[in-house]
């Protein structure tokens, strides 16, 4: 727990402006004195550094991206007990099955507004489809919310960001292993009933929270916000019956989909307890990158409750 809190302190300190951002509930942001800009926080890549490891093990399980300052946690080679093991499991979570996954790195946090702005300043990313949230008009580009998850990004935009950062969107199975670990737990933190200590869900906060705010909700590998806050795009096409035929080693989803729907994981700030379980699968219209740029089909769906995080091979 001390290790996780130290990581959060380093990350949030480095991603903040030179003027300390006051603690604030996202439902009541201060009135801006000028229009928001998309100038990223210069310190993100220059000052975010990993804490000095106290052991060889720590050095092997945590690092910080030199591209965007994202803390990453190491997910070792192992077996994931994938799918629904609890009484509330949905039909598309069956059959529960074991899959073997190669080792990989997973972003410890959801990609933030400040990180995404770096990609924009590099000329690689387009702005989110909306610069607010469901309740906050001045969100993206507002320094108060630099360390909050970027939202209103399409699947294609999430993919572009991860590639710019020398990473990729995680496979559905990778996402679940990072959230669940090696056992049959229902939530990233275990079996304790979700409440305000573990996650932003069920409209307890009414909007997004600063990334990494729920240390008690950490997964076995130290990944944060894998339940609630914002739901997260994965790379996989969605197939209701995929678990019936999926490979038992390194499954990366169906090769194609007529609907182009993609798997979204983790649940969001507005989801009830049943929908923030680690095995919960959601289907959202992904981007059709072969369609006319800017068209409805090209973009796919986007939401104030969907963000993303990236993964990277060992």
Cα dihedral across residues 210, 179, 181, 55: positive or negative: negative
What does the mean pLDDT of the chain come to?
86
Residue 58's pLDDT band (cuts 50, 70, 90) = low
CA separation for the pair 269, 149 (Å, rounded): 12
CA separation for the pair 312, 314 (Å, rounded): 7
pLDDT at 183: 96
pLDDT at 308 over 70: yes
Domains of the chain: 2-22+40-313 (3.90.1580.10)
Tell me which residue of 230, 211, 267 sits closest to 12, measured CA to CA: 211
Which of 41-45, 97-101, 152-156, 170-174 shows the lowest per-residue confidence on average (mean pLDDT)? 41-45
pLDDT at 185 over 80: yes
Return all residues near 303 (Cβ < 8 A) that are at least 6 apart: 151, 152, 231, 284
The phi, psi pair for 64, rounded to 5°, reads: -125, 130
Helix (H) or strand (E) holding 4: helix 2-15
Dump pLDDT digits (tens) for 2-34.
343 333 333 434 443 433 333 333 333 333 333
Question: How many CB atoms lie under 10 A from the CB of residue 214?
Answer: 24
pLDDT at 60: 74
The residue among 58 and 86 whose pLDDT is bigger is 86
Cβ proximity of 286 and 260 under 8 Å: yes
Dump pLDDT digits (tens) for 244-300.
999 999 999 999 999 999 999 999 999 999 999 999 999 999 999 999 999 999 999
pLDDT at 188: 98
Tell me which residue of 91, 120, 135, 100 sits closest to 246, measured CA to CA: 100
Tell me which residue of 76, 77, 69, 66 sits closest to 7, measured CA to CA: 69
101 bridge partner residues:
78
Tell me the percentage of the chain whose pLDDT exceeds 70: 81
Dump pLDDT digits (tens) for 196-207.
999 999 999 999
Length of the chain as a residue count: 314
Please provide the DSSP assignment of 186-246 as one string: SBTTBSSPP-TTT---TTSSSS---TT--GGG--TT-----SSSSEEEEEEEP-TTHHHH-
Dump pLDDT digits (tens) for 126-181.
999 999 999 999 999 999 999 999 999 999 999 999 999 999 999 999 999 999 99
pLDDT at 99 over 80: yes
CA separation for the pair 102, 118 (Å, rounded): 30
pLDDT at 57 over 90: no
**Torsion region of 56: left, alpha or beta (phi above 0 gives left; psi -120 to 50 gives alpha):** alpha
Question: How many CB atoms lie under 10 A from the CB of residue 38?
Answer: 14
The residue among 43 and 213 whose pLDDT is bigger is 213
């Amino acid at each position: 727990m001390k290790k996780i809190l130290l990581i959060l302190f380093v990350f949030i300190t480095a991603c903040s402006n030179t003027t300390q951002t006051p603690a604030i509930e996202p439902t009541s942001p201060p009135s801006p004195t000028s229009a928001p800009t998309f100038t990223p926080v210069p310190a993100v890549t220059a000052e975010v550094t990993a804490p000095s490891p106290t052991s060889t093990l720590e050095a092997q399980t945590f690092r910080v991206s030199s591209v965007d300052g994202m803390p990453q946690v190491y997910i070792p080679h192992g077996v994931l007990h994938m799918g629904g093991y609890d009484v509330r499991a949905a039909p598309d979570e069956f059959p529960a099955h074991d899959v073997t996954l190669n080792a990989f790195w997973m972003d410890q946090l959801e990609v933030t507004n400040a990180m995404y702005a770096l990609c924009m300043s590099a000329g690689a990313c387009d702005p989110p489809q909306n610069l607010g949230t469901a309740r906050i008009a001045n969100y993206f580009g507002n320094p108060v919310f630099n360390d909050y998850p970027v939202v209103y990004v399409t699947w294609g935009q999430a993919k572009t960001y991860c590639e710019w950062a020398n990473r990729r969107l995680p496979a559905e199975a990778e996402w679940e292993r990072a959230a669940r670990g090696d056992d049959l737990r229902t939530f990233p933190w275990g079996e304790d009933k979700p409440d305000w200590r573990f996650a932003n869900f069920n409209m307890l906060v009414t909007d997004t929270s600063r990334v990494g705010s729920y240390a008690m909700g950490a997964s076995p590998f130290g990944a944060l916000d894998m339940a609630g806050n914002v739901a997260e795009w994965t790379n996989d096409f969605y197939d209701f019956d995929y678990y019936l035929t999926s490979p038992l080693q390194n499954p990366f989803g169906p090769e194609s989909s007529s609907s182009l729907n993609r798997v979204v994981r983790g649940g969001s700030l507005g989801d009830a307890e049943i929908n923030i379980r680690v095995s919960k699968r959601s289907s959202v219209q992904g981007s059709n990158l072969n369609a006319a740029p800017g068209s409805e089909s090209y973009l796919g769906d986007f939401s104030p409750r969907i963000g993303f995080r990236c993964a990277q091979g060992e």
